Amino acid sequence: MSGAAHLRHWFIRAVREPRLDVPLLVALCLLAMCGLATLYSASDLDAQLVLNQAMRFALGGALLLLVSHIPPLVLRTWTPWLYLGSLLLLVLVALHGQGRGADRWLNLGIVRFQPSELVKLTLPMMIAWYLHARELPPRWTTLGIVAVLIGAPALLIAKQPDLGTALLVVASGVFVVFLAGISWQRIGMLLAAAAAAAPLVWHFMHEYQRDRLRMLLHPEADPLGNGWHIIQSEIAVGSGGWFGKGWHHGTQSRLEFLPEHTTDFVFSVFSEEWGLIGVLVLLALYLFIVGRGLAIAANARDTYSRLLAGALSMAFFVYVGVNGGMITGVLPVVGVPLPLVSYGGTSAVTLLTGFGVLMSIHAHRKFMPG
Question: Does an H or E element contain 14, and which?
Answer: helix 3-16
Dihedral (Cα; 187, 192, 194, 195), 10-degree rounding: 140
- Angle (CA) 338 344 348, round 5°: 75
Instruction: Give the chain's residues under pLDDT 50.
Output: 367-370
Q: Which of 217, 202, 115 is nearest to 166 (CA)?
A: 115
Q: What is the pTM of this model?
A: 0.88
pLDDT digits (tens, 9 = 90+) for 216-270: 777 776 777 777 778 888 888 888 888 888 888 887 777 777 888 888 888 989 9
The confidence score (pLDDT) of residue 237 equals 86
The confidence score (pLDDT) of residue 370 equals 35
Burial class of 217 by CB neighbour count within 10 A (0 to 12, 13 to 18, 19+): exposed
Distance CA 358, CA 364 (A): 10
- Angle (CA) 18 62 291, round 5°: 65
Answer yes or no: are the C-beta atoms of 265 and 325 closer than 8 Å: no
pLDDT digits (tens, 9 = 90+) for 88-143: 999 888 887 666 655 677 766 556 778 888 999 999 999 999 999 888 888 989 99
The confidence score (pLDDT) of residue 15 equals 55
